Amino acid sequence: MIVIAYFWQIEKKRIPFALSRMALNRRAVRNFPGVTFAKLLGCGTGERFTPSDADPLRWGILVVIDENQVDAFDKSSVVTKWRKNAHSEFRALLSPISSHGQWSKREPFSLSTKASDGAIVAITRARISFLGNFRFWKAVPPVTTSLHNSPGLISAIGIGEAPIGLQGTFSLWESGQALRNFAYKGEAHTQVIADTKKYQWYSEELFARFAVLELRGSL
């Protein structure tokens, strides 16, 4: 299986199109031949993970799909309509290296690749309890500052299925070692890991790493 991540930048006048596609594309994407898991995503800065972070000019789709259907999906009406209405597109073809946790009560990524010496993508996703949001928002700024200043980070954005409570990140790294240094040696991030265990603010969480097979466009 291959994981495909698309992110599109649109103009302000295309926001109604984007909002309608978020509603109308869901069934078409999930029912596409070879797709075993799919999420339509809003995007944001990932600075505080509050509603103010939301970026209405950037949207995405993530699918887990049979390798033989990658080209067909790329030429599908879903993708071509987004492409026609966007002024830029980023596409990543990814192969899962590791995945811990669940996304919508599922384990979506079947591991198919050993650790890579090349570029790495990390996806985090969490369902945050309502009361946990307030404590989480206070804890996030030092982590995001550390993330964006981390050696080896190429780019990172916030992703989510809703403005509140369903939060995540999509980050691209030069290497697995650079990602590990941030995750396990950065003081701010290790503190949040400890606080997560203490306060139990997630009702569901997932952390996954992927080898980069192909990148097209700029994140």
pLDDT for residue 113: 63
Amino acid symbol at 140: V
pLDDT band at 151 (very low <50, low <70, confident <90, very high): confident
Q: Which fold has domain 2-216?
A: Alpha-Beta Plaits (3.30.70)
Query: What's the pLDDT tens digit per position in 76-118?
Result: 999 999 999 999 999 999 999 999 888 988 899 987 666 667 8
pLDDT for residue 165: 47
Handedness of CA 140, 146, 148, 150 (dihedral sign): negative
pLDDT for residue 33: 97
User: In the chain, where are the structural domains located?
Assistant: 2-216
Phi, psi of 175 (to 5 degrees): -160, 165
pLDDT for residue 129: 59
Burial of 84 (0-12, 13-18, 19+ CB in 10 A): exposed
Q: Are 11 and 128 in contact (CB under 8 A)?
A: no
pLDDT for residue 158: 87
Query: Mean pLDDT over all residues of the chain?
Result: 83
pTM above 0.75, yes or no: yes
CA separation for the pair 121, 212 (Å, rounded): 7
pLDDT for residue 104: 87
